[in-house]
Amino acid sequence: MKASQVILITLAVIVGAIMLAGGCAYSGYNQAVTLDESVKGRWAQVENQLQRRFELIPNLVQTVKGVAAQEEKIFLGVAEARKAYFQAGTIREKAQAAGTFESALSRLLVLREAYPQLKSNESFLKLQDQLEGTENRLAVERKRYNDAVREVNTFRRKLLGRIYAGLAGVDHAEYFEVTEAARTVPKVKF
């Protein structure tokens, strides 16, 4: 072999090695960026579900309280009017109690016409379903976030991953962990 051929082959090997190293660096850098963006996107979904929870649950609770209070007021009015009738001693007191009873019944009938089936029981069941559904959605998004964190942190711990992550500015990601306050059983008040 001639010296010029050896130089050409050596130069081709060096250029090939540089291209291979550059391709690996490019690929590793892109993977670090992709994993970092995945973590950020998953966290955005956790926040999205938290926002949904913070907006939805208080409104649902107020709605259920309103329906329950309306029904409770009408049923208590009927019960109190009935009680007053049976406790009345004179005809005049019984007539007044009967008038109060008829008024309470008319409010019940108006409610019954507006709502063929009284709704507080259904409202409570729907609230329970919404609470459970919201918490399930949140649990799924937390898991997805933690999976993305695991992937980026695993990548960062690998031999060349730390270098690529450093080049891309990807730091160690924090897992979503349950706080001490979240470990206590929540109380729903009406």
Residue-number span of the structural domain to which 92 is assigned: 33-171
Asked if residue 98 belongs to a domain, the reply is yes
Distance CA 19, CA 125 (A): 64
Asked if residue 6 belongs to a domain, the reply is no
pTM of the complete model: 0.57
| Burial environment of residue 51 by CB neighbours within 10 A (0 to 12, 13 to 18, 19 or more) | exposed
The CA angle 102-108-114, to the nearest 5 degrees, is 140
Distance CA 97, CA 87 (A): 9
Distance CA 160, CA 31 (A): 12
Asked if residue 67 belongs to a domain, the reply is yes
Q: Provide the domain count of the chain.
A: 1
Asked if residue 13 belongs to a domain, the reply is no
Asked if residue 178 belongs to a domain, the reply is no
Is 65 within 8 Å of 123 (Cβ atoms)?
no
Per-residue pLDDT, 184: 62
Asked if residue 60 belongs to a domain, the reply is yes
Asked if residue 96 belongs to a domain, the reply is yes
- What SS3 class is residue 100? helix
Per-residue pLDDT of 93-133, as tens digits, reads: 777 777 776 676 666 666 555 554 555 667 667 777 777 78
Q: What are the structure tokens assigned to 16, written together?
A: 């090939």
Confidence band for 180, pLDDT divided at 50, 70 and 90: low
Is 88 within 8 Å of 94 (Cβ atoms)?
yes
Within the chain, residue ranges assigned H as helices are 3-87, 91-114, 120-157, 161-168
Asked if residue 28 belongs to a domain, the reply is no
Per-residue pLDDT of 4-47, as tens digits, reads: 888 888 888 898 989 988 888 888 888 888 888 888 888 888 88
Q: Which residues contact 46 (CB under 8 A, 6 or more apart)?
A: 138, 141, 142, 145, 176
